[in-house]
Structure 1
Amino acid sequence: MNIPIVPPPADQEDLPSGSEGPIIISDVIQLDHSINIFAGFTRDIEPVAKRLEDGSRNTTVLAPLNSAVKALPRKPWEDPRDYAALGLDAYTGPGGEDRAHRNLRRFVQAHIIPTSPWKEREKIESLVGGSVWWETKNGKRTIQPGDIEVSVVANRVANGELWIIKGVINYA
């Protein structure tokens, strides 16, 4: 599914709006099937879901393609340190579920930038911490550190932007 790229609004009156008011990130993140794994994760992490539903909190979402999430050496909720400390049962029982949720929250929050618009070379801490910025290299927008290519800035809406990226932000 291709979602049209919407130019940035000149002012609030130019923002796209739906039947219930301005369109926000939580409205559009679920529309692109190429990022539906990450979109589902955002709904599972309450502080992130609330932020994406809040029209007053500008955010840039760096949504990894499904292929990038699938290419990870482990699931986003798994941490090798948990396996080293607790063995194969690291994610069983209530304690295991808590660990998995905490790890997934860290993964998702690493991809949420609490500003929009986000200027080139502007270093910002993601919600999990750690400074990230973007720059243009060889005509392509890349996220640093890590040289993660931005596939497309898919949407610009009332509370921010949705960027689709070809890799994942370091969340360890």
Structure 2
Amino acid sequence: MRLFSFFTVLSLASLSFPATAEQTVFSHQDTMNANDMPSLADLLTIESSVSIFYSYARELALSELFNKQVGLKEELGRANANGGLTLLVPTNKAVMALARKPHQSAQSQDNEDIAISEEELFKQSRDNVQRWVEAHIIPTSPLTYPAPTTTYDTLLQGKSVTLASGTAPDAQSDEDWKSVTINEGIRIISMKQASNGVLYIIDGTIDVD
């Protein structure tokens, strides 16, 4: 099973990256024609610095949304789904710095001596990954920030992220994302516009606990 194998490799990898602070941002309207732009899936494919996130995400059915151009409201069953998606994508370094990897759970670490079947471990790992990836997806794009802080719901039920802007709402520009932090610490490293949303590369991860 490819997903299980990937999780196993990550679990056994030697991790030496230090934990870093994180920040996240919002997006802006782009004047380019959507047909001239890559999709979110295209951007994730060519961006090697976030390959771990995409390796997790593409094992899930929801990754099909990264190629879709319209119909998010119907696809997600969310009345508030607007436009495309906003992806908050952690760097490989940020993921590797996690003490508990996305496919792991607190219970599995506390009960390492309890034997469970490979099938149960696979299901548990997939559920953990599903929650983690969903917490990094906002079903709205572009994002706006009419106030110093704005909260957005993610695809993970009951999980939201708070964006704090260092720029006055009445003085916005295409690069205002550079002054935004997420959840009081996560920093946005870069922003990439896609035909079906916006991809923000961040230097931390969204906590799902």
> Into which bin does the TM-score normalised by the smaller protein fall?
0.7 to 0.9
2:56 to 41, 48, 56: 41
What residue is the counterpart of 2:203 in the other structure? 166
Contact 2:88–2:136 (8 Å) recurs in 1: yes
Whether 1:80 and 2:110 are equivalent positions in the alignment is no
Contact 1:82–1:90 (8 Å) recurs in 2: no
What residue is the counterpart of 1:9 in the other structure? 30
Give, in whole Å, the separation in 1 of the partners of 2:129 and 2:116.
12
Q: TM-score, normalised by structure 2?
A: 0.67
Whether 1:131 and 2:160 are equivalent positions in the alignment is yes
Shift of 1:89: 5.0
Give, in whole Å, the separation in 2 of the partners of 1:91 and 1:24.
39
- How many matched pairs? 156
2:96 to 49, 61, 70: 70
Letter in 2 for 1:126: T
Query: Any gaps of 5 or more consecutive residues in structure 1?
Result: 1-6
SS of the aligned residue for 1:26 comes to helix
Shift of 1:166: 0.3
1:150 to 188, 199, 202: 188
Q: TM-score, normalised by structure 1?
A: 0.81
- Identity among equivalent positions (%) equals 26
SS of the aligned residue for 1:87 comes to coil
Query: Any gaps of 5 or more consecutive residues in structure 2?
Result: 1-27, 73-83, 168-177
Shift of 1:157: 1.5
Give, in whole Å, the separation in 2 of the partners of 1:53 and 1:15.
13
Q: CA RMSD in A?
A: 2.2
Give, in whole Å, the separation in 2 of the partners of 1:37 and 1:81.
23
What residue is the counterpart of 2:42 in the other structure? 27
| Further displaced range: 132-141 or 106-115 | 132-141
What residue is the counterpart of 1:106 in the other structure? 131
Give, in whole Å, the separation in 1 of the partners of 2:53 and 2:117.
23
Whether 1:51 and 2:65 are equivalent positions in the alignment is yes
**Greater share of strand:** 1
When residues 126 and 73 of structure 1 are mapped into structure 2, their CA distance, relative to the original with a 3 A threshold, is: same
SS of the aligned residue for 2:108 comes to helix
When residues 109 and 88 of structure 1 are mapped into structure 2, their CA distance, relative to the original with a 3 A threshold, is: farther
Contact 2:89–2:199 (8 Å) recurs in 1: yes
Shift of 1:76: 1.0
Give, in whole Å, the separation in 2 of the partners of 1:90 and 1:149.
40
SS of the aligned residue for 1:167 comes to coil
